[in-house]
Structure 1
Amino acid sequence: MTLKNVIKSTRQRVSHRGSLLCLLTALAACTGPAVEVQAQSSEPVHDPLVVDNPDALPEAEFNLQMGDVVVPYDVFSLFVVPGERTELEVLYPQSEAPYVLRVDGEPVQSTGKNKWSWLAGDKPGTHTMEVVNAEGETGMTINVFVKVPAEEVSGGKLKYYHIGPYPSENEITHKDLYVEPDGFIEVTKENQDTKVSPHFTLKEFISKQRSNYPKFVYLQAPLLLKLEMLRREMNLQDINVDRMVIMSGYRTPQYNRAIGNVKFSRHVYGDAADIFVDNDGNYRMDDLNNDGEHDINDADVMAGVINELNKRSDFKALIGGLGVYGPKPHRGAFIHIDTRGIKARWRKP
Structure 2
Amino acid sequence: MNKGAVLLCFVLGLFFVPLSHAFDRGEAGFAVSVDGLQIPFRVMGLTAMPGDTLTLSVPPKSRVKASSGRINQDGPKRWHWRAPDKGMSTLKITDTAGRVVELNIFVLRRAASVRNGVIDGYRMGNYPQEAYRGFEAYEPPEGFIEVTPALFDVYLSPHFQLKQFLCKQAAVDGKQFMVFRPELMLKLETILQKLNERGIAADTLFIMSGYRTPHYNHSIGNRKYSRHIYGGAADFFVDVSPRDGRMDDLNGDGRIDRKDAALVYDMIEGLSREHGWLTGGLGEYGSSSSHGPFVHVDVRGHRARWGKK
Q: TM-score, structure 2 length as denominator?
A: 0.88
What letter matches 1:220 in structure 2?
R
- Counterparts of 2:175 and 2:249, CA distance in 1: 37
Count residues with an aligned counterpart.
289
Matching residue within 102, 113, 117 for 1:141: 102
What letter matches 1:85 in structure 2?
T
Tell me the C-alpha RMSD between the 2 structures: 2.0
Deviation at 1:125, TM superposition (A): 0.6
Matching residue within 49, 67, 71 for 1:104: 67
- Counterparts of 1:166 and 1:105, CA distance in 2: 31
Deviation at 1:55, TM superposition (A): 4.1
- Counterparts of 1:348 and 1:106, CA distance in 2: 47
Identical pairs, percent: 38
- After superposition, the Cα gap between the structure-2 partners of 1:106 and 1:172, relative to the gap in structure 1 and judged at 3 Å, is closer
Which structure has the higher relative contact order (CA within 8 Å, separation 6+)?
Answer: 1
What letter matches 1:238 in structure 2?
G
Structure 1 partner of 2:286: 326
- The SS at the match of 1:83 is coil
What letter matches 2:47 in structure 1?
F
- The SS at the match of 1:61 is strand
Matching residue within 224, 233, 252 for 2:194: 233
Matching residue within 310, 314, 337 for 2:272: 310
Structure 2 partner of 1:22: none
- Counterparts of 1:56 and 1:327, CA distance in 2: 31
Equivalent residues in 2 for 1:1-349, closer than 5 Å? 53-90=21-58, 93=59, 98-104=61-67, 108-121=71-84, 123-134=85-96, 137=98, 139-169=100-130, 172-212=132-172, 213-279=174-240, 280-315=242-277, 318-347=278-307
Contact 1:220 1:271 in 2 (8 A): yes
What letter matches 1:188 in structure 2?
T
Range 236-245 or range 156-165, more displaced: 236-245
- The SS at the match of 2:150 is coil
1:95-153 deviation digits (Å, cap 9, x = unpaired): xx6101100189933211132011112x1211111002346x45111111001011111
Contact 1:101 1:107 in 2 (8 A): no
- The SS at the match of 1:63 is strand
- Counterparts of 2:179 and 2:33, CA distance in 1: 21
- The SS at the match of 1:331 is coil
- The SS at the match of 2:27 is coil
What letter matches 1:110 in structure 2?
Q
1:59-90 deviation digits (Å, cap 9, x = unpaired): 00201101131111111112001011111012
* Larger CA Rg, structure 1 vs 2: 2
- Counterparts of 1:206 and 1:277, CA distance in 2: 18
What letter matches 2:223 in structure 1?
V
- Counterparts of 1:240 and 1:329, CA distance in 2: 28
- The SS at the match of 1:308 is helix
- After superposition, the Cα gap between the structure-2 partners of 1:160 and 1:52, relative to the gap in structure 1 and judged at 3 Å, is closer
Contact 1:187 1:203 in 2 (8 A): no
Contact 1:126 1:145 in 2 (8 A): yes
- Counterparts of 1:177 and 1:129, CA distance in 2: 26
Give 5+ residue unaligned stretches, structure 1.
Answer: 1-50
- The SS at the match of 1:173 is helix
Contact 2:23 2:203 in 1 (8 A): no
